[in-house]
Amino acid sequence: MKIAIIGTGYVGLCTGACFADLGNDVVCMDIAEEKIEKLRKGIIPIYEPQLKELVDRNAAIGKLKFTASLKEAVGNSEVIFIAVGTPPRHDGSADLSYVENVAYQIAKVMDGYHLIVEKSTVPVQTGKRVERTIKENARHGIEFDVASNPEFLREGSAIHDFLHPDRIVIGVSSERAAILLKKLYEPLNAPIIVTDINSAEIIKHASNSFLATKISFINAVANICEKTGANIEEVAHGIGLDKRIGKSFLNAGIGYGGSCFPKDVSAFVKISEDLGYDFKLLREVETINKRQKELFLKKIHDGLWNLSGKTVGVLGLAFKPDTDDMREAPSIDIINYLVKEGARVKAYDPAAMENAKKILPIIDYCVDEYEVARNVDALIIVTEWKEFKEIDMNCLKSAMKKPLIFDGRNMFDKQKMKALGFQYISVGR
């Protein structure tokens, strides 16, 4: 099948590369010409395991192409995916101007039937607006369909997730659109759920909001554990073995961040409010998430007393491991607070330092964990990168001024850290 992907970011590029690998002819388009130039040269603009080999392999055989021309991308593509960003606006709603703009431009260059698919995460009823925009701007009489096909991949395991999804959601208003999308996804052998467009849009917002709710729930329970001497890991294990609840997303820590959960929860709250329903539950999820970071900062304050004149090392900057994405990363608020209080901050992240430097230019970036540890008054673990598990703790300890660690991700065994001579402060344990 001939496919165009409009917006070649984390989702657009991974989706395009995977569809190409499944045998389709894919053109990935982006307005960022520099990005397209890099991709043509085989330079991948994001850190994502397995992505480069997939792009290289399919670009080499001409199955995956890159362009900055929307007209060229739309060309004779049967299916056009919109994968542009939907960032949060100041009031929490999703900024849909990129989606509208793309819909308008597609309409202007359409020259025959196309299926236009929302891949971006959008609030319910966006499909209707996309359809209206296209109808108003396309040449009279041109046939088209609009569909919603939300994406559930996670950064850090995007390729695996795309190729092995739990389910594929297809929101359509015509049989023709359903047939096309089912055919496209057939090779994945995954359950396909066909719904109306509104339901598909809600499935995405509700899924992310539910996962965020699990995280805030376990963090709230972690706070009760701390006050009573219970251990959140044992509690989470005891809860998670119940199949109705499930083990995942029950890791207590400093809360969720990233380019999806914060904006999707707030967009779901906002669209609910616009529709006349006050989604108080989700507003509380947001409040707990914010407070979780504040509680962690309070622990750091209590442990270090005055931050002014102290040096603090930060391990991990990306919003989660295996990505270089810094959008809404908890490290940003934590580091800004430390700097505001007068601390000198040193940091290391295996992948996100280049992106972090644009947001946090005032701190010192180190080559590894041991350089971060040198002469610091305390270390803070913000992202649970696997490589931190392999740290030589004795080496780390001897580099530090004081053996004090604040672990926002509960990466290490509390007793073992104590036995090694660390003052080790984690979450809910």
Comparing CB distances to ligand NAD, the nearer of 31 and 230 is: 31
Which residue has 């376990």 as its token pair?
A: 218
Closest distance between ligand NAD and the C-beta of residue 20, in Å? 17
- Residue 375: Cβ within 10 Å count: 12
CB of 321 to ligand NAD, least distance (A): 14
Q: How far is the CB of 204 from ligand NAD (least distance, A)?
A: 7
Contacts of 73 (CB under 8 A, 6+ apart): 4, 5, 6, 27, 28, 29, 67, 80
Pick the closer one to ligand NAD by CB: 33 or 56: 33
Q: What share of the chain is helix, strand, coil (3-state, %, to 5)?
A: 45, 15, 40
Q: Check: CB of residue 36 under 8 Å from CB of residue 8.
A: yes
- Nearest alpha-carbon partner for 156 in 323, 274, 6: 323
Considering the complex, state which of residue 28 and residue 235 has its C-beta at the smaller distance from ligand NAD: 28
Q: Are 148 and 125 in contact (CB under 8 A)?
A: no
Measured CA to CA, the distance from residue 319 to residue 297 in angstroms comes to 17
Of 294, 24, 322, 279, nearest to 153 by C-alpha is 322
Q: What is the DSSP letter of 363?
A: S
Query: Does the active-site annotation cover 260?
Result: yes
**Burial of 278 (C-beta count, 10 Å sphere; 0-12/13-18/19+):** exposed
- Residues in contact with ligand NAD by CB under 6 A are 6-12, 29-32, 35, 83-86, 98, 101-102, 120-121, 151, 153, 155, 259-260
Minimum CB distance to ligand NAD smaller for 174 or for 207:
207
In the complex, residue closest to ligand NAD by CB: 9
| Cβ proximity to ligand NAD, 8 vs 289, nearer residue | 8
From 14, 18, 225, 260, active-site residue: 260
Tell me which DSSP letter residue 318 carries: S
Active-site positions? 260
